[in-house]
Structure 1
């Protein structure tokens, strides 16, 4: 991830911020409370609450460090302000017509921290996104992935 800028949508940044705040204000304090209680129960070597709690604290702290770095490096892209709506840019919703099997798919080009293939959210550095970025409505694009090579036509571009 480090070789790319950390472009992110406002919604993606808000989701990261929400997770960060939850970890800091809710999850970590609760685990610290449980670990403190468990530590007071004597022998820590066989104390499951203590051992699991310490492990969970390390996981939480690791995630907090990761989120902090990603948010500090984030460049929020406001796609709703896009004026050239006939061209595919970061944040666009793109409807593609598969010229091979005549099906349609809808994707949204988002940051690496926002991936959600089930919703059609793909990273701007993925082969599909690289194929459509900068292209115009009506353009045909060839997408080469490890699994297949497919040709699509861009039939709709939206910025919401």
Structure 2
């Protein structure tokens, strides 16, 4: 199964993978060696903590490699969706009730960060927006009840 991801999202995962392999992995190997030098491993808390950290790092490396291997990398700048909301699009919305305006980019699950205005393609609001155009009104089923938004603009940047 392919996972959609923006170019920026893939780059962030590659940077984390590089850091894990070149900084974190060697550091934990050194910590294990140092803890081993302290003798009895059966009651060596530093050794246990370092081994646990190593297991986490190796698991995360495998997870990132798998995600990148299965990524379908999409560059929003190259999209030609004729103004339709699609994965990677940046959408300006206005809440019809309050008039509050928000801007979201629809991204992959690993990239989602509401503070940065990036919402997961699987989120209720993204699912409501996909396939719509500027001028359309969408109803989003939110935890606090239904919310209505007008799509003001759709950009591919």
Q: What is the TM-score with the length of structure 2 in the denominator?
A: 0.95
Give the match for residue 129 of structure 1: 126
Which SS does the other structure have where 1:112 is aligned?
coil
Give the match for residue 68 of structure 2: 71
Aligned-pair CA distance for 1:36: 0.9
Gaps (5+ residues) in structure 1? none
Give the match for residue 28 of structure 2: 31
1:85, 1:159 within 8 Å by CA — same for their partners in 2?
Answer: no
Which SS does the other structure have where 2:140 is aligned?
strand
Give the match for residue 40 of structure 1: 37
Give the match for residue 12 of structure 1: 9
CA displacement, residues 78-106 of structure 1 (integer Å, 9 cap, x when unaligned): 11012235211111111100001111111
Give the match for residue 80 of structure 1: 77
CA RMSD, Structure 1 to Structure 2 (Å) = 1.3
Correspondent of 1:107 among 80, 104, 107? 104
Give the match for residue 18 of structure 2: 21
Is 2:137 aligned against 1:140? yes
Give the match for residue 98 of structure 1: 95
Give the match for residue 147 of structure 2: 150
Aligned-pair CA distance for 1:46: 2.4
* CA distance in 2 between partners of 1:85 and 1:28 (Å): 46
Gaps (5+ residues) in structure 2? none
* CA distance in 1 between partners of 2:59 and 2:110 (Å): 16
Moved over 3 A (4+): none
Is 2:112 aligned against 1:118? no
Q: What is the TM-score with the length of structure 1 in the denominator?
A: 0.93
Aligned-pair CA distance for 1:62: 1.0
* CA distance in 2 between partners of 1:5 and 1:109 (Å): 17
* CA distance in 1 between partners of 2:82 and 2:13 (Å): 27
Which SS does the other structure have where 2:63 is aligned?
helix
